[in-house]
Amino acid sequence: MRILIIEDEQKIINFIKKGLEAEYYTVDFVLDGEDGYFKALNERYDLILLDVMLPKMNGFELTKKIRERGVKTPILMLTARDTVEDKVKGLNAGADDYLPKPFSFDELLARTRALLRRATTEKSNIIKIFDLKIDTASHEVARGNQKINMTSREYALLEYLARNKNMVLSRTRIAQHVWGYDFDTQTNIVDVYIRYLRKKIDEGFDKKLIQTVRGAGYKIGE
Ligand code: CA
């Protein structure tokens, strides 16, 4: 699951990002409303955490504009302005939920999960590739009847490959998605993590699911 944070206070971003990454979510952030608007329009996210008071474009305006453009990504608004009027304004603009600051991480996580659950009830949470099963709601992974434990990065990498089943993904694309924009392209971190994944997913099984495509990158498929 991929989450976008639109917030101008770096301290709050760090606090949320660290917590969500520990819970196996992939997190991107931007620091103003305009950047948030472009990212929300042009990239696919499962949830947007949106501050109201933002430079360049406020959260109400941003919500209204992306809804007008047909973006249905759930939005959880975060704001210090805890008045009924603002709550109504946010929900009317097209936000799905509202969380007043200061909030505890546990509450943010509970609401995040609830929104993601709501958004995925019509769709299945399970991605299946041969006998590999990935539950994108609970983040449980199993091959056959064997449950597989993973670190948060390993899971994020596996989910990204699985969501793009049978598609070749370049190392750069994988790195940007799983490690974010501050990623140093000189490292071989993708190869290292693919090795970890192979150990957990493919080792001991006749059928290998993770494939190296020479000169291009990696893919997962049957
Ligand atoms: Ca703010």
Contact between 64 and 94 (Cβ < 8 Å): yes
Q: In what order do the strands lie in the sheet with 97-100?
A: 26-30, 2-6, 47-51, 75-79, 97-100
Coil, strand or helix at 184: coil
Average pLDDT, the chain: 89
* Assigned token pair, 195: 């090795």
Contact between 102 and 84 (Cβ < 8 Å): no
CA of 195 to the centre of ligand 1 (A): 41
pLDDT at residue number 41 = 92
pLDDT at residue number 44 = 85
Counting every residue, how long is the chain? 222
CA of 9 to the centre of ligand 1 (A): 6
Strands (E) located in 25-71 = 26-30, 47-51
Coil, strand or helix at 14: helix
pLDDT at residue number 142 = 96
What is the pLDDT confidence band of residue 120, given thresholds at 50, 70 and 90?
low
pLDDT in tens, 35-46: 999 999 988 899
The percentage of the chain sitting over the pLDDT mark of 70, rounded to a whole number, equals: 94
pLDDT in tens, 163-201: 888 899 998 888 888 887 556 666 789 999 999 999 999
Phi and psi at residue 45, to the nearest 5°: -120, 155
CA of 57 to the centre of ligand 1 (A): 11
Phi and psi at residue 132, to the nearest 5°: -90, 130
pLDDT at residue number 81 = 64
Angstrom distance (rounded) from CA 78 to CA 76: 7
CA of 51 to the centre of ligand 1 (A): 6
The percentage of the chain sitting over the pLDDT mark of 90, rounded to a whole number, equals: 63
DSSP-assigned letter for residue 52: S
Coil, strand or helix at 62: helix
Kindly list the distances between the CA atom of residue 182 and the CA atoms of 23, 28, 52, 156, 174, in Å, as whole numbers in the listed order.
20, 11, 26, 17, 13
pLDDT at residue number 176 = 80
Q: List domains and CATH numbers for the chain.
A: 2-118 (3.40.50.2300), 126-220 (1.10.10.10)
Averaged pLDDT, 63-72: 91
Comparing 80-94, 125-139, 208-222, the range with the smallest average pLDDT is: 80-94
Of 51, 66, 13, the closest CA to residue 182 belongs to 13
Contact between 29 and 182 (Cβ < 8 Å): no
Whether the per-residue pLDDT at 33 is higher than 70: the answer is yes
- Give the dihedral sign, CA 65/68/70/73: positive
As beta bridge partners, residue 97 has 76
CA of 58 to the centre of ligand 1 (A): 9
Comparing 6-20, 53-67, 73-87, the range with the smallest average pLDDT is: 73-87
Coil, strand or helix at 214: coil
